[in-house]
Amino acid sequence: MSNSLHQENAVKQNKRVTGISYVVDHIIPTGVQVKVVGKPKPKPKPKPKSEPEPEPGVIVYDALFNSAPLCAQQQMQLEGLKLSWSVKQAVGSHGYGTSCEVGVGSKNSWWMQKYKIFGGVAMSDLPLRWCVHPSYNINKTREKSGVLLASYTWSQEAERIGALITPDLHDLARMHTSIDQGYKDLLDELHASYIAHYAYNWYVDPHQAGAFAFFGSGQYKNMYPDLVVSYGKYMIISKKAAAHHAQVINSIERAFRGVY
């Protein structure tokens, strides 16, 4: 995708947007100015004198689609966009659900070898709540190392486990056995096969500040209609700007609607 763009170096990575405002000519918006912070890069070739040099840390576009979550947009200075009160209210108060995920790597795919589990979700009232068994390469990796999504939580369960976000092999063993049948053997096997774990709390991600759109009471009716309105040079296409929240189709819908 990057190579297909006509403008050289159009994609700028490792940048964080701190502010967005209109470029105005006699009260008419002619473009959108984006303030960014990021790693310094070599200066580009000098431009002709007829083109004014933009301020350091500022990029000017003809138009802009803002796909950042609203809770991340709250960290940007948006006063220069003259957004409606409803949109400002949505940026400041729209609900986002939290989620925590804990992946555990094992030297062998014990869930396939020992319990013949080839994909699917196990649910429990243990703190881990949901355990997701991978369904890819199930005929090739039984004897090899594998990764199990040992815990997938959201809402209150995620907030609770987020305070202690480490893999609990005790709970993982309990989820797959009864306390008096095979529990001790499986727990010993889990400790022996353990390689590493990776735990992530989406609510503490500085670029997300939440996992997925989670409308509160009255928010869909009172805020959603203004979020999907085109402002000409500026268009919000964040997670809240399409109806199928927390699903891949949401990304497709909001991108399509924004371009349309």
Residue 166 pLDDT:
62
Rounded to 10 deg, the angle between the 85-93 and 219-227 helix axes is: 120
How do the domains of the chain map onto residue ranges?
Answer: 15-95+215-259, 97-204
* 97-204 shares the fold of 15-95+215-259: no
Long-range CB contacts (within 8 A, 24+) of 81-89:
81/20, 81/21, 81/22, 81/231, 81/234, 82/22, 83/231, 84/226, 86/222, 86/223, 86/226, 87/223, 87/226, 87/227, 87/236, 89/223
- The CATH number for 97-204, chosen from 3.90.660.10, 3.20.20.140, 3.65.10.10, 2.40.37.10, is 3.90.660.10
Residue type, 233: K
Residues in a beta bridge with 196: 105
* Rounded CA separation 28/165 (Å): 50
* CATH architecture entry for 15-95+215-259: 3-Layer(bba) Sandwich (3.50)
Tell the burial category of 25 from Cβ atoms under 10 Å away from its Cβ (0-12, 13-18, 19+).
Answer: exposed
**pTM for this predicted structure:** 0.74
CA angle 102, 107, 109 (to 5 degrees): 75
Host H or E run for residue 151 = strand 146-154
Residue 179 pLDDT:
76
Residue 45 pLDDT:
57
Q: Which residues of 83-122 are buried (b: 16+ CB within 10 A; e: fewer)?
A: beeebeebbeebebbbbbbbbbbbebbbbbeeeebeeeeb
Residue 120 pLDDT:
93
Taking residue 232's Cβ as centre, other Cβ atoms within 10 Å add up to 10
Half-sphere exposure at residue 144, Cβ-oriented, CA atoms within 13 angstroms: 5
Write out the two tokens for 70. Answer: 């609203």
Residues whose CB falls within 8 Å of the CB of residue 192, separated by 6 or more in sequence, listed in order = 107
**Residue numbers in the chain where pLDDT is lower than 70:** 39-56, 140-143, 165-168
Unique residue bearing structure tokens 């063993």 = 173
3-state secondary structure of 113: helix
Give the distance, in angstroms, between the CA of residue 124 and the centroid of all CA atoms in the same chain. Answer: 25
- Pick the closest to residue 200 from 150, 248, 240, 245 (CA basis): 150
Residue 67 pLDDT:
92
Rounded to 10 deg, the angle between the 183-193 and 169-176 helix axes is: 130
- The residue length of the chain stands at 260
Residue 253 pLDDT:
92
